[in-house]
Amino acid sequence: MHKSIQLDQPDKPPNDSNGTNHVHNQRIVETETADGFKKKEQSWFATCQIPTDLSIQVEDVTFHVHKYPLVSKCGYLRTIELPRPNSHLGYDLKLEKFPGGSGTFEIILKFCYGLPISLNPDNVAATRCASEFLDMTEAMEDGNLIAKIEAFFTFVVLSSWNDTITVLRSCEILSPWAENLQMVRRCCDSIISKISRGNSAEEKLIEENWWFKDVTSLHINHFLRIITALRAKEMNPEIIGSCIICYGEKWLPSTDTKTEETGNYGNRIIDFHFMSGRKQETKIGQNKERRTIIESLVSILPPQKEAVPCKFLLWMLKKAIVYAPSPVLVFELEKRISMVLENATVNDLLIPTNSVGEQTIDSTEKQTMHNLEAVQRILDYFLIYEKQQLQQQGLKSTASNISKLVDSYLAEIASDPNVSIDKFQILAESLPLEARASHDGLYRAIDTYLKTHPSLSEHDRQRLCKIMNCGKLSLDACTHAAQNDRLPLRIVIQVLFSEQVKMKAAIQGKDHITSDDESDKESSQSPSKKEVKSLKEELEKIKIQMEELQRDYSELQHNYEKVNNKNTKTSWTFGWRKMKKSAHSNGKLDSEVTEEGHNRSNVGCKACSRRRQSIS
């Protein structure tokens, strides 16, 4: 509960320097017996028997008062020349930009008339600024309002956490008066001192984040001042980071991430439209305030990597791109993200463009839904940062840790029809060759891209598939690729050759192990035979597929030669013979497969029919 104080005034009027009452004693006594004010429309009237002789307007309210009680306590009114009553304007004096407005001026009037007033944390800051505006100092009268407020503020308000927070909140609309009177500084110092004591070793029973709720309710300028001071006091960076996260989540608009988690292109577009600040009700003032918040929060982030998680940094980057702060700030966030990129998820990396659906300056390239440039820069920063860490500290490479993340991200953006093949290829080739232990994820991304872009030329499909190393595909991926109509024929053959070589190596390795391990022959012979048998069966399936592929291709080549000119025929024949010759020279094509492939009868099957349609 907030504390308040009741200030009562003496009954007798002030004396002059000779100790006698002023010449207007009778009027003063009668005036000070006024029991308050009454309101009539937009005017307030002092309730006393003496007619008022001064009208003062504050905001849209006019106060009809007596001149002397105000002049005796307010130096401002004594120094200015009060105009004569003006019935046309309805007031004699207008106080522009009066701190606290008409409500605070009413408190000032009550004090001047000797009526009791109540000071509390909600009105003390505004009343203090208003009394400064009117110059209600001790030079005007002993025990004037400024001295009374200062005593209440220093000994009552600053001793209480809740009262200090309340006063600091009220100072947000009292700039620059509250700043100039050091009320903001004194409140912040009091809060910082209480946080430091509360988080000290002597008070471990108190939760570390007990102060988050109140501090995050403050204006960004006041929050910035408090966090900066706590950083200077070397508070735990993770605690500071957690408080910054709470502030960002409270003051920056959030979105529903359910549509993002579905991975559906159509649903995410709606979400990205919301994130890009394109809703009609978004105001310029709100965007400016959010931009200030983003810039301030980034500026006070602790430098330690563990201070804030990667998820929050990427969330802030999305906000930064939407509300368009300085490019320097965006790049700073991207560098921070690159240091902890291994902790990111695919959904975190789905950064929207600033204007979804619009075209870029180059009208030949449509705007993508995803901000590939930002992710590319983050990945480049990561590789530079990792190289520096390897050189300086000799740490182990972590590029392999993010290979799955990059491949999953490629699979997501592949569903965007506006992603160009150049950007997709550059991003896919950014990782070092040794970073990917398996190329299954990369194959999935390439296959998704080919499915989303069916009009790609044969040349583009070839160069896109060259990124993939068929020797690093698993058995399941090879099986899928061997039957994939979207892949170029040459890539399919490479997949089959690669799988055949791996099966031979596996069979030879198993036979070698079985023959060498005589001491454990009884226990190991049975499972080795099963494994060898399984591998041989798989090899036979691959051989049959290869034979069918060669037979279908020979039939297509024969038909093609009938309807095309000689040059085209020569080109096809040369390409096929060159490929076959290369395979024989490398030992990748079994002689048994080649011979049987020409001697088998032309028996049709569903797989062959699909292959024939794809090649045609």
Question: pLDDT band for position 5 (50/70/90)?
Answer: low
Distance CA 220, CA 293 (A): 6
User: If you average pLDDT over each of 75-89, 315-329, 335-349, which comes out highest?
Assistant: 335-349
What integer pLDDT is reported at residue 595 of this predicted model? 37
Phi, psi of 242 (to 5 degrees): -65, -40
Q: Which amino acid, 485?
A: D
Pairing of strands 93-95, 54-58: parallel
3-state secondary structure of 37: strand
Question: pLDDT band for position 43 (50/70/90)?
Answer: confident
> Is residue 138 over pLDDT 90?
yes
> Is residue 356 over pLDDT 80?
no
Containing H/E element for 56? strand 54-58
Q: Which of 330, 467, 478 is nearest to 407 (CA)?
A: 467
Is position 161 within any domain?
yes
> Is residue 361 over pLDDT 60?
no
Cβ proximity of 467 and 427 under 8 Å: no
> Is residue 347 over pLDDT 80?
yes
When pLDDT is averaged across residues 111-124 and rounded to a whole number, the result is: 92
Is position 52 within any domain?
yes
What integer pLDDT is reported at residue 14 of this predicted model? 43
What integer pLDDT is reported at residue 479 of this predicted model? 84
What integer pLDDT is reported at residue 34 of this predicted model? 54
User: What is the largest distance, in Å, between two alpha-carbon atoms of the chain?
Assistant: 135
Q: Which residues pair with 45 in a beta bridge?
A: 38, 64
What integer pLDDT is reported at residue 553 of this predicted model? 74
Is position 45 within any domain?
yes
pLDDT: which is higher, 509 or 444: 444
pLDDT: which is higher, 177 or 287: 177
Is position 279 within any domain?
no
pLDDT: which is higher, 156 or 397: 156
Cβ proximity of 386 and 398 under 8 Å: yes
Distance CA 613, CA 391 (A): 54
Sign of CA dihedral 240, 242, 247, 248: positive
Number of domains in the chain: 1
Is position 131 within any domain?
yes
> Is residue 196 over pLDDT 50?
yes
| E runs forming strands in 66-163 | 93-95, 117-119
When pLDDT is averaged across residues 275-285 and rounded to a whole number, the result is: 53
What integer pLDDT is reported at residue 25 of this predicted model? 35
Q: Which of 533, 562, 547 is nearest to 593 (CA)?
A: 547
Mean pLDDT check: name the lowest of 162-171, 424-433, 592-601.
592-601
What integer pLDDT is reported at residue 502 of this predicted model? 72
Interval 363-379: pLDDT, tens? 445 678 889 999 999 99
In this structure, what CATH number is given to the domain that contains residue 98? 3.30.710.10
> Is residue 449 over pLDDT 50?
yes
What integer pLDDT is reported at residue 535 of this predicted model? 66
C-beta pairs of 75-78 under 8 Å, 24+ apart in sequence: 75/134, 75/135, 75/136, 75/137, 75/139, 75/140, 76/133, 76/134, 76/135, 77/134, 78/140
> Is residue 471 over pLDDT 70?
yes
Is position 136 within any domain?
yes
What integer pLDDT is reported at residue 527 of this predicted model? 42
When pLDDT is averaged across residues 391-416 and rounded to a whole number, the result is: 84
Question: pLDDT band for position 394 (50/70/90)?
Answer: low
Cβ proximity of 577 and 485 under 8 Å: no
Vertex 78 angle, CA 72 and 80, to 5°? 160
Is position 88 within any domain?
yes
**What's the domain range around 78?**
36-168
Token digits for 516?
A: 């060498």
Distance CA 549, CA 555 (A): 10
What integer pLDDT is reported at residue 271 of this predicted model? 42
Distance CA 41, CA 63 (A): 11
DSSP letter, residue 351:
P
pLDDT: which is higher, 454 or 531: 454
> Is residue 611 over pLDDT 50?
no
When pLDDT is averaged across residues 15-44 and rounded to a whole number, the result is: 48
> Is residue 614 over pLDDT 80?
no
Which whole-number Å values give the CA distances from 556 to 56, 576, 595, in the listed order? Answer: 100, 12, 19
What integer pLDDT is reported at residue 441 of this predicted model? 94
Query: Which residue bears the tokens 């399919």?
Result: 492
The end-to-end CA distance of the chain, in Å, is: 83
pLDDT: which is higher, 72 or 204: 72
What integer pLDDT is reported at residue 89 of this predicted model? 56
Cβ proximity of 381 and 394 under 8 Å: no
Which whole-number Å values give the CA distances from 439 to 134, 403, 475, 480, in the listed order? Answer: 77, 9, 12, 13
Vertex 499 angle, CA 493 and 501, to 5°? 105
User: If you average pLDDT over each of 82-86, 95-99, 579-583, which comes out highest?
Assistant: 95-99
Kindly calculate the radius of gyration of the chain based on its CA atoms and give it in whole angstroms: 40
When pLDDT is averaged across residues 322-348 and rounded to a whole number, the result is: 90
Cα 383 to chain centroid distance, Å, stands at: 22
What integer pLDDT is reported at residue 33 of this predicted model? 44
What integer pLDDT is reported at residue 7 of this predicted model? 65
> Is residue 58 over pLDDT 60?
yes
What integer pLDDT is reported at residue 602 of this predicted model? 39
What integer pLDDT is reported at residue 202 of this predicted model? 56
- pLDDT, averaged across the chain: 76
pLDDT: which is higher, 214 or 603: 214
Residues 6+ apart with CB under 8 A from 528: 510, 513, 514
Is position 206 within any domain?
no
When pLDDT is averaged across residues 182-202 and rounded to a whole number, the result is: 87
